[in-house]
Amino acid sequence: MPYIVGVRDQNQLFPASIEEYIGPDDPVRGYDAFVEQVDFAQLGIELDEHQVGPPEFDPRAMVKLLVYGYSYGIRSSRKLERATHHNVSFIWLMGGLKPDHKTVARFRRDNAAALRNVLRQCAQVCLKLGLIEGNTLFVDGTKIRANASMKHTWTADRCKKSIQEIDQRIDMILKECEVADQSEQGGTSLVKMRSALQDQKKLKAQIGGVLAELQETDRASLNTTDPESGRMRNGGQIETGYNLQAVVDERHGLIVHSDVLSQSNDGGLFAGQIQAAQETLAKVCEQACVDAGFSSGEDLKIMLDQGVDVVVPTVRHSDFRDHFTYDADADIYRCEQGHELKYIGDSKDHKTRIYQIRDPATCRSCPAFGTCTKAAQGRRVERPFAEAAREPMQRWPQRPSISQE
Protein backbone atom coordinates (compact mmCIF):
# COMPACT_ATOMS: atom_id res chain seq x y z
CA MET A 1 0.00 0.00 0.00
CA PRO A 2 1.61 3.35 -0.99
CA TYR A 3 2.25 6.11 1.54
CA ILE A 4 0.11 9.20 1.84
CA VAL A 5 2.40 11.74 0.16
CA GLY A 6 1.89 15.51 0.25
CA VAL A 7 1.88 17.53 -3.01
CA ARG A 8 3.23 21.07 -2.64
CA ASP A 9 2.51 22.20 -6.23
CA GLN A 10 -1.18 21.29 -6.05
CA ASN A 11 -3.22 24.44 -6.73
CA GLN A 12 -5.49 25.55 -3.92
CA LEU A 13 -8.41 27.94 -3.68
CA PHE A 14 -5.87 30.22 -1.98
CA PRO A 15 -3.94 32.74 -4.11
CA ALA A 16 -0.86 30.52 -4.56
CA SER A 17 0.49 26.97 -4.10
CA ILE A 18 2.16 25.97 -0.83
CA GLU A 19 5.56 26.12 -2.52
CA GLU A 20 5.22 29.85 -3.16
CA TYR A 21 4.66 30.67 0.51
CA ILE A 22 8.28 29.83 1.41
CA GLY A 23 11.18 31.91 0.08
CA PRO A 24 14.25 30.25 -1.47
CA ASP A 25 16.47 31.24 1.50
CA ASP A 26 14.07 30.21 4.27
CA PRO A 27 15.83 28.01 6.93
CA VAL A 28 13.08 25.38 6.70
CA ARG A 29 14.42 24.40 3.27
CA GLY A 30 17.69 23.41 4.96
CA TYR A 31 15.88 21.04 7.32
CA ASP A 32 13.96 19.59 4.38
CA ALA A 33 17.15 19.02 2.39
CA PHE A 34 18.89 17.46 5.40
CA VAL A 35 16.21 14.84 6.10
CA GLU A 36 16.08 13.97 2.39
CA GLN A 37 19.79 13.05 2.66
CA VAL A 38 19.38 10.93 5.79
CA ASP A 39 19.96 7.19 5.41
CA PHE A 40 16.75 5.83 6.94
CA ALA A 41 18.01 2.25 6.75
CA GLN A 42 20.95 3.22 8.95
CA LEU A 43 18.56 4.99 11.31
CA GLY A 44 16.50 1.83 11.62
CA ILE A 45 13.33 3.19 9.97
CA GLU A 46 12.00 1.01 7.16
CA LEU A 47 10.74 2.68 3.99
CA ASP A 48 8.39 0.34 2.13
CA GLU A 49 5.75 1.81 -0.15
CA HIS A 50 4.38 -1.67 -0.92
CA GLN A 51 3.64 -2.77 2.64
CA VAL A 52 0.31 -4.42 3.37
CA GLY A 53 -2.31 -2.61 5.42
CA PRO A 54 -3.82 0.87 5.61
CA PRO A 55 -1.62 3.74 4.36
CA GLU A 56 0.43 5.66 6.89
CA PHE A 57 2.13 9.02 6.84
CA ASP A 58 5.47 9.16 5.04
CA PRO A 59 8.18 8.51 7.69
CA ARG A 60 10.36 11.15 6.03
CA ALA A 61 7.68 13.77 6.61
CA MET A 62 7.26 12.68 10.24
CA VAL A 63 11.01 12.94 10.87
CA LYS A 64 11.05 16.40 9.28
CA LEU A 65 8.22 17.47 11.56
CA LEU A 66 9.99 16.28 14.72
CA VAL A 67 13.48 17.56 13.81
CA TYR A 68 12.23 20.98 12.71
CA GLY A 69 9.91 21.29 15.71
CA TYR A 70 12.63 20.31 18.19
CA SER A 71 15.03 22.81 16.64
CA TYR A 72 12.60 25.60 17.48
CA GLY A 73 11.73 24.31 20.94
CA ILE A 74 8.38 22.70 20.00
CA ARG A 75 8.35 19.28 21.70
CA SER A 76 4.67 18.74 22.52
CA SER A 77 2.85 16.50 20.03
CA ARG A 78 -0.25 18.67 20.39
CA LYS A 79 1.73 21.81 19.57
CA LEU A 80 3.29 20.08 16.57
CA GLU A 81 -0.18 19.10 15.35
CA ARG A 82 -1.33 22.72 15.76
CA ALA A 83 1.70 23.97 13.83
CA THR A 84 0.80 21.83 10.80
CA HIS A 85 -2.51 23.71 10.67
CA HIS A 86 -1.40 27.30 11.33
CA ASN A 87 2.37 27.71 10.78
CA VAL A 88 3.24 28.27 7.11
CA SER A 89 6.74 26.79 7.38
CA PHE A 90 5.37 23.61 8.95
CA ILE A 91 2.62 23.41 6.34
CA TRP A 92 5.25 23.70 3.58
CA LEU A 93 7.58 21.20 5.24
CA MET A 94 4.79 18.61 5.55
CA GLY A 95 3.45 19.25 2.07
CA GLY A 96 0.04 19.97 3.56
CA LEU A 97 -0.08 16.78 5.65
CA LYS A 98 -1.74 17.21 9.05
CA PRO A 99 -1.11 14.20 11.33
CA ASP A 100 -2.94 14.35 14.66
CA HIS A 101 -1.04 14.48 17.96
CA LYS A 102 -1.62 10.78 18.67
CA THR A 103 0.03 9.84 15.37
CA VAL A 104 2.98 12.13 16.13
CA ALA A 105 3.40 10.72 19.65
CA ARG A 106 3.14 7.11 18.42
CA PHE A 107 5.73 7.67 15.66
CA ARG A 108 8.10 9.27 18.17
CA ARG A 109 7.60 6.41 20.65
CA ASP A 110 8.02 3.66 18.04
CA ASN A 111 11.19 5.24 16.60
CA ALA A 112 12.82 6.63 19.75
CA ALA A 113 16.12 4.80 19.15
CA ALA A 114 16.25 5.93 15.51
CA LEU A 115 15.58 9.56 16.40
CA ARG A 116 18.53 9.52 18.80
CA ASN A 117 20.77 8.73 15.83
CA VAL A 118 19.56 11.68 13.77
CA LEU A 119 22.35 13.86 15.18
CA ARG A 120 24.93 11.33 13.98
CA GLN A 121 23.42 11.43 10.49
CA CYS A 122 23.29 15.23 10.62
CA ALA A 123 26.99 15.47 11.45
CA GLN A 124 27.91 13.12 8.61
CA VAL A 125 25.80 15.06 6.11
CA CYS A 126 27.41 18.32 7.28
CA LEU A 127 30.83 16.73 6.73
CA LYS A 128 29.89 15.97 3.13
CA LEU A 129 28.61 19.52 2.64
CA GLY A 130 31.74 21.06 4.16
CA LEU A 131 29.85 22.64 7.06
CA ILE A 132 31.85 20.58 9.58
CA GLU A 133 35.57 19.88 9.30
CA GLY A 134 35.98 17.69 12.37
CA ASN A 135 39.56 18.88 12.88
CA THR A 136 39.08 21.04 16.00
CA LEU A 137 36.43 20.19 18.58
CA PHE A 138 35.34 22.14 21.67
CA VAL A 139 33.75 20.50 24.72
CA ASP A 140 31.73 22.22 27.43
CA GLY A 141 28.93 21.40 29.84
CA THR A 142 25.98 23.15 31.44
CA LYS A 143 23.62 22.27 34.29
CA ILE A 144 19.92 21.67 33.66
CA ARG A 145 17.50 21.62 36.57
CA ALA A 146 15.34 18.50 36.87
CA ASN A 147 11.60 18.59 37.57
CA ALA A 148 12.17 17.09 41.01
CA SER A 149 12.49 18.47 44.53
CA MET A 150 15.66 18.18 46.61
CA LYS A 151 13.55 16.87 49.52
CA HIS A 152 13.09 13.67 47.51
CA THR A 153 16.85 13.20 47.13
CA TRP A 154 18.22 10.51 49.44
CA THR A 155 21.76 9.70 50.48
CA ALA A 156 22.92 6.62 52.38
CA ASP A 157 23.38 8.66 55.59
CA ARG A 158 19.92 10.18 55.30
CA CYS A 159 18.38 6.73 54.72
CA LYS A 160 20.09 5.24 57.78
CA LYS A 161 19.15 8.21 59.96
CA SER A 162 15.52 8.07 58.80
CA ILE A 163 15.31 4.32 59.43
CA GLN A 164 16.58 4.85 62.97
CA GLU A 165 13.96 7.55 63.55
CA ILE A 166 11.23 5.30 62.11
CA ASP A 167 12.29 2.41 64.35
CA GLN A 168 12.00 4.72 67.37
CA ARG A 169 8.58 5.85 66.18
CA ILE A 170 7.46 2.22 65.68
CA ASP A 171 8.60 1.30 69.21
CA MET A 172 6.65 4.25 70.60
CA ILE A 173 3.49 3.27 68.66
CA LEU A 174 3.79 -0.35 69.83
CA LYS A 175 3.96 0.81 73.46
CA GLU A 176 0.92 3.03 72.93
CA CYS A 177 -0.92 0.06 71.39
CA GLU A 178 -0.19 -2.06 74.47
CA VAL A 179 -1.58 0.69 76.69
CA ALA A 180 -4.64 1.02 74.45
CA ASP A 181 -5.23 -2.76 74.53
CA GLN A 182 -5.44 -2.59 78.32
CA SER A 183 -7.83 0.36 78.25
CA GLU A 184 -11.54 -0.20 77.82
CA GLN A 185 -11.94 3.13 76.04
CA GLY A 186 -9.09 2.66 73.62
CA GLY A 187 -11.00 1.14 70.69
CA THR A 188 -10.95 4.07 68.30
CA SER A 189 -7.47 5.15 69.34
CA LEU A 190 -6.15 1.62 68.81
CA VAL A 191 -7.43 1.52 65.22
CA LYS A 192 -5.70 4.80 64.42
CA MET A 193 -2.43 3.68 66.03
CA ARG A 194 -2.41 0.39 64.11
CA SER A 195 -2.96 2.35 60.87
CA ALA A 196 -0.07 4.67 61.79
CA LEU A 197 2.06 1.62 62.57
CA GLN A 198 1.42 0.19 59.09
CA ASP A 199 2.29 3.55 57.51
CA GLN A 200 5.59 3.66 59.39
CA LYS A 201 6.44 0.09 58.33
CA LYS A 202 5.68 0.91 54.69
CA LEU A 203 7.83 4.03 54.88
CA LYS A 204 10.67 2.04 56.41
CA ALA A 205 10.41 -0.53 53.61
CA GLN A 206 10.50 2.22 50.97
CA ILE A 207 13.56 3.89 52.49
CA GLY A 208 15.20 0.48 52.85
CA GLY A 209 14.64 -0.08 49.13
CA VAL A 210 16.28 3.26 48.32
CA LEU A 211 19.26 2.40 50.53
CA ALA A 212 19.64 -1.00 48.84
CA GLU A 213 19.56 0.65 45.39
CA LEU A 214 22.19 3.17 46.44
CA GLN A 215 24.46 0.36 47.58
CA GLU A 216 23.85 -1.74 44.45
CA THR A 217 24.43 1.10 42.00
CA ASP A 218 27.26 2.67 44.05
CA ARG A 219 25.61 6.09 43.74
CA ALA A 220 26.02 8.91 46.25
CA SER A 221 22.36 9.95 46.10
CA LEU A 222 19.02 8.98 44.54
CA ASN A 223 15.97 11.12 43.85
CA THR A 224 12.76 9.12 44.16
CA THR A 225 10.87 11.46 41.80
CA ASP A 226 13.52 11.41 39.04
CA PRO A 227 15.97 8.53 39.71
CA GLU A 228 18.16 9.44 36.72
CA SER A 229 18.90 12.97 38.00
CA GLY A 230 21.80 13.87 40.28
CA ARG A 231 22.77 16.47 42.89
CA MET A 232 24.15 19.51 41.04
CA ARG A 233 25.82 22.68 42.26
CA ASN A 234 24.40 25.44 40.08
CA GLY A 235 24.99 29.12 40.81
CA GLY A 236 25.94 28.49 44.43
CA GLN A 237 22.87 26.32 45.07
CA ILE A 238 22.47 22.56 45.33
CA GLU A 239 19.60 21.21 43.24
CA THR A 240 18.56 18.08 41.36
CA GLY A 241 19.42 18.19 37.69
CA TYR A 242 21.52 16.98 34.79
CA ASN A 243 24.89 17.83 33.29
CA LEU A 244 24.43 18.51 29.57
CA GLN A 245 27.61 17.95 27.56
CA ALA A 246 28.03 19.29 24.02
CA VAL A 247 30.86 18.92 21.51
CA VAL A 248 30.93 21.52 18.74
CA ASP A 249 32.98 21.87 15.57
CA GLU A 250 35.20 24.92 15.16
CA ARG A 251 34.17 25.97 11.65
CA HIS A 252 30.55 27.04 12.22
CA GLY A 253 29.95 26.00 15.84
CA LEU A 254 27.68 23.11 14.85
CA ILE A 255 27.01 20.44 17.48
CA VAL A 256 28.49 17.04 16.57
CA HIS A 257 27.72 15.21 19.82
CA SER A 258 25.63 15.77 22.93
CA ASP A 259 25.02 13.81 26.11
CA VAL A 260 23.00 14.23 29.30
CA LEU A 261 24.59 12.86 32.48
CA SER A 262 23.86 12.77 36.19
CA GLN A 263 27.52 13.40 37.11
CA SER A 264 27.83 16.81 38.73
CA ASN A 265 31.37 17.86 37.76
CA ASP A 266 33.09 17.71 34.37
CA GLY A 267 36.21 15.91 35.59
CA GLY A 268 36.78 12.64 33.76
CA LEU A 269 34.28 13.40 30.97
CA PHE A 270 36.63 14.95 28.41
CA ALA A 271 37.98 11.83 26.69
CA GLY A 272 34.61 10.08 26.56
CA GLN A 273 32.88 13.07 24.93
CA ILE A 274 35.61 13.58 22.33
CA GLN A 275 35.69 9.86 21.49
CA ALA A 276 31.89 9.81 21.06
CA ALA A 277 32.15 12.82 18.72
CA GLN A 278 34.88 11.07 16.74
CA GLU A 279 32.64 8.02 16.34
CA THR A 280 29.88 10.27 15.00
CA LEU A 281 32.28 11.92 12.53
CA ALA A 282 34.03 8.64 11.70
CA LYS A 283 37.38 10.41 12.00
CA VAL A 284 39.95 11.36 14.65
CA CYS A 285 40.11 15.09 15.28
CA GLU A 286 43.42 16.94 15.23
CA GLN A 287 42.76 19.25 18.19
CA ALA A 288 40.42 19.26 21.20
CA CYS A 289 39.77 22.30 23.41
CA VAL A 290 38.26 22.31 26.90
CA ASP A 291 38.18 24.53 29.97
CA ALA A 292 40.05 23.85 33.20
CA GLY A 293 37.16 21.89 34.70
CA PHE A 294 37.90 19.01 32.31
CA SER A 295 41.65 18.91 32.95
CA SER A 296 41.85 15.38 34.31
CA GLY A 297 45.34 14.01 33.79
CA GLU A 298 44.03 10.56 32.86
CA ASP A 299 41.76 12.04 30.18
CA LEU A 300 44.53 14.20 28.76
CA LYS A 301 46.82 11.19 28.49
CA ILE A 302 44.16 9.21 26.59
CA MET A 303 43.80 12.03 24.06
CA LEU A 304 47.54 12.57 23.67
CA ASP A 305 48.08 8.83 23.14
CA GLN A 306 45.61 9.04 20.23
CA GLY A 307 47.62 11.83 18.67
CA VAL A 308 45.07 14.53 19.49
CA ASP A 309 46.53 17.96 20.23
CA VAL A 310 44.85 19.08 23.48
CA VAL A 311 44.40 22.74 24.43
CA VAL A 312 43.37 23.33 28.04
CA PRO A 313 44.20 26.10 30.52
CA THR A 314 46.64 25.10 33.24
CA VAL A 315 45.19 24.76 36.71
CA ARG A 316 47.48 26.58 39.12
CA HIS A 317 48.01 25.03 42.54
CA SER A 318 49.10 27.73 44.96
CA ASP A 319 50.07 25.19 47.63
CA PHE A 320 53.41 24.27 46.04
CA ARG A 321 53.53 24.59 42.23
CA ASP A 322 54.73 28.20 42.39
CA HIS A 323 57.48 27.41 44.89
CA PHE A 324 58.72 23.95 43.88
CA THR A 325 60.39 22.83 40.65
CA TYR A 326 60.19 19.27 39.38
CA ASP A 327 63.34 17.66 37.94
CA ALA A 328 62.14 14.85 35.67
CA ASP A 329 65.61 13.35 35.15
CA ALA A 330 66.30 13.01 38.89
CA ASP A 331 62.60 12.51 39.77
CA ILE A 332 62.79 15.03 42.61
CA TYR A 333 61.26 18.38 43.61
CA ARG A 334 63.43 21.35 44.63
CA CYS A 335 62.15 24.15 46.81
CA GLU A 336 63.15 27.81 46.47
CA GLN A 337 65.88 27.24 49.08
CA GLY A 338 67.43 24.49 46.92
CA HIS A 339 66.41 21.60 49.19
CA GLU A 340 65.43 18.33 47.50
CA LEU A 341 62.24 16.36 48.11
CA LYS A 342 62.64 12.75 47.00
CA TYR A 343 60.08 10.12 46.03
CA ILE A 344 58.96 7.98 48.99
CA GLY A 345 55.90 6.12 47.66
CA ASP A 346 52.43 6.34 46.13
CA SER A 347 49.02 7.32 47.40
CA LYS A 348 46.58 4.92 45.71
CA ASP A 349 43.55 6.85 46.97
CA HIS A 350 44.75 10.20 45.61
CA LYS A 351 46.46 8.63 42.54
CA THR A 352 49.63 10.55 43.30
CA ARG A 353 53.36 10.06 43.87
CA ILE A 354 54.59 11.39 47.21
CA TYR A 355 57.80 13.42 47.62
CA GLN A 356 59.26 14.41 50.98
CA ILE A 357 62.36 16.01 52.46
CA ARG A 358 64.78 13.29 53.60
CA ASP A 359 65.97 15.03 56.76
CA PRO A 360 63.14 16.80 58.67
CA ALA A 361 65.75 18.94 60.44
CA THR A 362 66.49 20.59 57.09
CA CYS A 363 62.95 21.97 57.00
CA ARG A 364 62.89 22.97 60.65
CA SER A 365 66.09 25.01 60.22
CA CYS A 366 64.90 26.62 56.98
CA PRO A 367 63.90 30.33 57.15
CA ALA A 368 60.63 29.42 55.33
CA PHE A 369 59.60 26.98 58.06
CA GLY A 370 56.24 28.00 59.47
CA THR A 371 55.20 29.45 56.11
CA CYS A 372 56.04 26.60 53.73
CA THR A 373 55.14 23.94 56.30
CA LYS A 374 54.63 23.50 60.03
CA ALA A 375 54.88 19.70 59.94
CA ALA A 376 57.56 18.25 62.23
CA GLN A 377 58.43 15.62 59.60
CA GLY A 378 59.14 18.30 56.98
CA ARG A 379 57.58 19.38 53.69
CA ARG A 380 55.70 16.88 51.54
CA VAL A 381 54.18 17.34 48.05
CA GLU A 382 52.08 15.03 45.88
CA ARG A 383 52.41 14.66 42.12
CA PRO A 384 49.43 13.15 40.17
CA PHE A 385 50.23 10.01 38.21
CA ALA A 386 49.14 11.74 34.98
CA GLU A 387 50.92 15.04 35.71
CA ALA A 388 53.32 14.43 32.81
CA ALA A 389 50.35 14.65 30.44
CA ARG A 390 49.10 17.89 32.00
CA GLU A 391 52.40 19.82 31.91
CA PRO A 392 52.50 20.33 28.10
CA MET A 393 49.19 22.20 28.39
CA GLN A 394 51.05 25.37 29.44
CA ARG A 395 50.58 26.79 25.93
CA TRP A 396 46.92 27.76 26.33
CA PRO A 397 46.52 30.89 24.16
CA GLN A 398 46.54 34.06 26.24
CA ARG A 399 44.80 37.33 25.34
CA PRO A 400 47.35 39.99 24.34
CA SER A 401 47.79 42.61 27.01
CA ILE A 402 46.33 46.04 26.25
CA SER A 403 48.74 48.92 26.64
CA GLN A 404 47.66 51.59 29.07
CA GLU A 405 49.72 54.27 27.34
Distance CA 357, CA 339 (A): 8
Torsion of CA 232, 233, 235, 236, to 10 degrees: 150
pLDDT 10s digits, 70-128? 888 888 999 999 999 999 999 999 999 999 999 999 999 998 888 878 877 778 778 88
| 63 falls within a domain | yes
Distance CA 142, CA 260 (A): 10
pLDDT 10s digits, 161-210? 888 888 888 788 777 777 776 665 545 566 776 777 787 878 778 778 87
Question: With 0-12 CB in 10 A as exposed, 13-18 as middle and 19+ as buried, what is 270?
Answer: buried
Question: With 0-12 CB in 10 A as exposed, 13-18 as middle and 19+ as buried, what is 324?
Answer: buried
Distance CA 74, CA 92 (A): 17
Angle in degrees, CA 200, 205, 210, rounded to 5: 125
| 319 falls within a domain | no
Q: Are 261 and 350 in contact (CB under 8 A)?
A: no
| 303 falls within a domain | yes
Distance CA 228, CA 248 (A): 25
| 107 falls within a domain | yes
Which of 223, 243, 266 represents a domain boundary (last residue)? Answer: 223
Helix (H) or strand (E) holding 278: helix 270-281
| 9 falls within a domain | no
Q: List the chain pLDDT tens, one digit each, 405 residues.
A: 678 888 877 766 655 678 888 888 898 998 898 888 888 888 888 887 777 777 888 989 999 999 899 888 888 999 999 999 999 999 999 999 999 999 999 999 998 888 878 877 778 778 887 888 889 999 988 888 877 777 878 788 888 888 888 888 878 877 777 777 666 554 556 677 677 778 787 877 877 887 787 777 777 777 777 777 888 877 777 888 888 899 999 988 888 888 888 888 888 888 899 999 998 888 889 999 988 777 777 788 888 888 888 888 765 554 555 678 888 888 889 888 888 888 888 887 777 888 988 888 888 888 888 888 888 888 888 887 767 666 655 544 443 333 333
Residue ranges of alpha helices (H) inside 44-155 are: 59-71, 77-86, 88-93, 101-110, 112-116, 118-129
Same domain, 212 and 158: yes
How many domains are contained in the chain?
A: 4
Distance CA 362, CA 38 (A): 70
Same domain, 276 and 340: no
Distance CA 314, CA 396 (A): 7
Distance CA 82, CA 78 (A): 6
Same domain, 354 and 379: yes
| 244 falls within a domain | yes
Q: Could you tell me the residue range of the domain that residue 158 belongs to?
A: 150-223
Q: Is 253 left (phi over 0), alpha (psi -120 to 50) or beta?
A: left
Q: Which residues pair with 287 in a beta bridge?
A: 136, 309
